[in-house]
């Protein structure tokens, strides 16, 4: 069974439907590449997927190790390069809720961020800058 069905809507937009849940995502080309920038661009989603994956994997390990990351946020900055047009860097800045994480818990968090499936799937030349604000 397919994971998703993606349809080109015209006007540089697509609609992706997650088959199992029916949830939808609309994308738009960014304003610096002929679009309106009214929705996430495909490269925004790729960068956002990295952040969501990191938080998910950290959350799994936090539950296993009896600590919480509830309320943690990430501010993500995507930097594009030209020739060929591509994502050249993703800056991931973690903001953890006020919590006194142990050195062991911090190590778990940082290791999970660097080993999540999306991180491992991205090209090694793509710079991934991570800032952990505990």
What pLDDT sits at residue 99? Answer: 80
Domain map of the chain by residue range?
A: 4-33, 42-133
What pLDDT sits at residue 84? Answer: 93
Contact 26, 15 (CB under 8 A): yes
Any idea how long the chain is?
Answer: 134
Residue-wise pLDDT for 93-133, tens only, equals 999 997 899 999 999 999 999 999 999 999 999 999 999 99
- Residue whose C-alpha is closest to residue 74's, from 111, 113, 31: 113
Supply the pTM of this predicted model. 0.93
Arch. (CATH architecture) of 42-133: 2-Layer Sandwich (3.30)
Q: How far apart are CA 62 and CA 50, in angstroms?
A: 18
Residue-wise pLDDT for 63-95, tens only, equals 999 999 999 999 999 999 999 999 999 999 999
- Averaged pLDDT of the chain: 97
What's the order of all strands across the beta sheet hosting 4-10?
4-10, 13-18, 24-28
Arithmetic mean of pLDDT, 55-59:
98
């Amino acid at each position: 069974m397919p994971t998703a069905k993606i349809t080109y809507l015209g006007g540089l937009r697509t609609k992706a439907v997650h088959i199992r849940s029916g949830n939808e995502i609309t994308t738009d080309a960014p304003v610096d590449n002929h679009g309106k920038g009214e929705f996430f661009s495909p490269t925004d989603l790729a960068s956002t997927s990295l952040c969501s994956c990191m938080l998910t994997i950290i959350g799994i390990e936090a539950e296993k190790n009896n600590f919480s990351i509830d309320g943690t946020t990430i501010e993500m900055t995507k930097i594009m390069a030209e020739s060929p047009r591509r994502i050249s860097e993703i800056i991931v800045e973690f903001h953890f809720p006020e919590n006194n994480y142990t050195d062991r818990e911090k190590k778990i968090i940082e290791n999970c961020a660097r080993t999540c499936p999306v991180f491992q799937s991205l090209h090694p030349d793509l710079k991934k800058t991570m800032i952990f604000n505990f």
